[in-house]
Structure 1
């Protein structure tokens, strides 16, 4: 949902476009990666963004979750001097790798590693958006709900003044039938809604930018 696949804009692009008009200070997106996922190659090897004219650096992967990112985030923060992390993870963990409790422990490991690299790092964490599987798999839906509760608890436990953590509100009116192209991955409207969730959290808590404009392209 964050890396995107060939031919997409990604929510990262939508947020960048918003911040270009909403934020007065200098900023850029950073990270060790910039590729999109290529479905034909089944690998993150594509540079075919719908609009390549933005800072495309990121730390995201197709099929990678908290389990995979917790060991990587410290080195990425340190090497690329990140001071804000915008994190949308968890669906793949719960779907294939870890249960809700284990996933929540990986959240805590991720936060610890990021802070070890930058003790003043700020973070915005997005709750898991249930996908189409949750409509037909009640145990999976229960795990998603439980994880989101545990995620909120982790944010409350780990938030501190020098390194604040925000729990973003779930994207308003997000509809997997209208805002995704396959029941999971966001289409253009879904990208806007995810970008809006991050933008709203940063504006309301930190006064960074402004509220997301629905017409942002």
Structure 2
């Protein structure tokens, strides 16, 4: 008798399934066939299934599997929806691009708010790479008429690439920032209108996940545009960027107030109101647009501006306040990080050094007064007096160069010169010692 026939008879006798019978189990165990292995396995399972403890164990195992599977799916879903929360090794870093103007590019020797935001990503264990065609802050202009070389980078700044001084950042920035955080699309004096023709290509080339936008101030302040016109430009900017990357996420900053210039404060307020109303209309489920409350976070206005170094551009306090504003949107609206950037009780102070060396070079027409380069100088203030006359303490000649030619110092008199470094409106170095000269 073939095995198949025997098995059929055991199953079909009396018209009942007899696999629950001990006799059938015994017969199946001794069937010497490769097919018998499967049959033995089924018989073993049936014996176990009659044991209530075994059934309970199987039920618990299935339940645990279902719960773990559901939990894994949920965590995976939120990791995909909010990639910033993933901080495990091997996770692909977030790709972030900052599009902005001088407020975002920053000045030589400062940290920039971009660095403070990069620090926040690190503190929240969120891998991130900043993207863009530029890496520098706005470097101090070289005075080619002096011929004094710029100082070399300080010892300890060495790394595989440019140093902090090379690209204009504070000397204590983390070297890793220079590799992964210093890239940006921020240009001094930039308007939204100027970025319209380039943003599509930048998004296409760098493929950011998030576009952090700080633009519009120059359109109102210097571009002669009305709030409605600037708002239209911002909408076009978003549309062009989105066309290059349909799932791009946007964090759009409103405009800061600054020290008083005409009716700019009024027009800034009008633009910000319109921007708040427009952003929900621009947002899409696949490409959300969220507001960054830059103005509300920035300690600056027509009367007083402690967050700036000159009435608009951020100093150390302002950098942290702007980064705080962006981190709030990234956390609350995009679910990135564990909490927004916390502002310190005391903001870091800034050291402002005086030029180390000053000199005069008189000729028959004028006296040239020169001084050393100071890294991070926003500018310099010079005072000149005729020997024996008091300094005019509330008057100084401001310049971004490192020399001054005094055409008025004639008549054979002896003149004295001194200079100090201008770091911020309220932060200036001591005056240098005076040097004297007379026209030949």
2:288 corresponding residue in structure 1: 164
2:264 corresponding residue in structure 1: 140
2:168 corresponding residue in structure 1: 48
Q: SS at 1:147's partner residue? A: helix
- Structure 1: gaps spanning 5 or more residues: none
Choose from 118, 121, 128 the match for 1:27: 128
Does residue 185 of structure 1 match 2:313? yes
Matched-pair contact (CA < 8 Å) for 1:171–1:196 = no
Q: SS at 1:124's partner residue? A: strand
Does residue 150 of structure 1 match 2:279? no
Choose from 315, 325, 340 the match for 1:211: 340
Q: CA deviation at 1:143?
A: 1.3
Choose from 196, 199, 204 the match for 2:327: 199
Matched-pair contact (CA < 8 Å) for 2:254–2:295 = no
C-alpha RMSD of matched pairs (Å): 2.0
2:220 corresponding residue in structure 1: 94
TM superposition outliers: structure 1 runs of 4+ over 4 Å: none
Matched-pair contact (CA < 8 Å) for 1:23–1:208 = no
Return the structure number with greater helix share.
Answer: 1
Report which of the two structures shows the higher radius of gyration computed on alpha carbons. Answer: 2
- Structure 2: gaps spanning 5 or more residues: 1-102, 144-165, 349-440
My pick for the range that moved more, 145-154 or 104-113, is 145-154
Counterpart-to-counterpart distance in 1, 2:310 and 2:120: 26
2:237 corresponding residue in structure 1: 110
Matched-pair contact (CA < 8 Å) for 2:108–2:139 = yes
Matched-pair contact (CA < 8 Å) for 2:257–2:295 = no
Return the structure number with greater strand share.
Answer: 2
Counterpart-to-counterpart distance in 1, 2:295 and 2:123: 21
1:65 corresponding residue in structure 2: 191
Matched-pair contact (CA < 8 Å) for 2:297–2:322 = no
Judged with a 3 Å threshold, the aligned counterparts in structure 2 of structure 1 residues 39 and 57 are, in CA distance, closer, same or farther, namely same
Does residue 119 of structure 1 match 2:223? no
Q: CA deviation at 1:16?
A: 0.1
My pick for the range that moved more, 205-214 or 171-180, is 171-180
The alignment covers a number of residue pairs equal to: 210
Matched-pair contact (CA < 8 Å) for 1:172–1:193 = no
Q: SS at 2:251's partner residue? A: strand
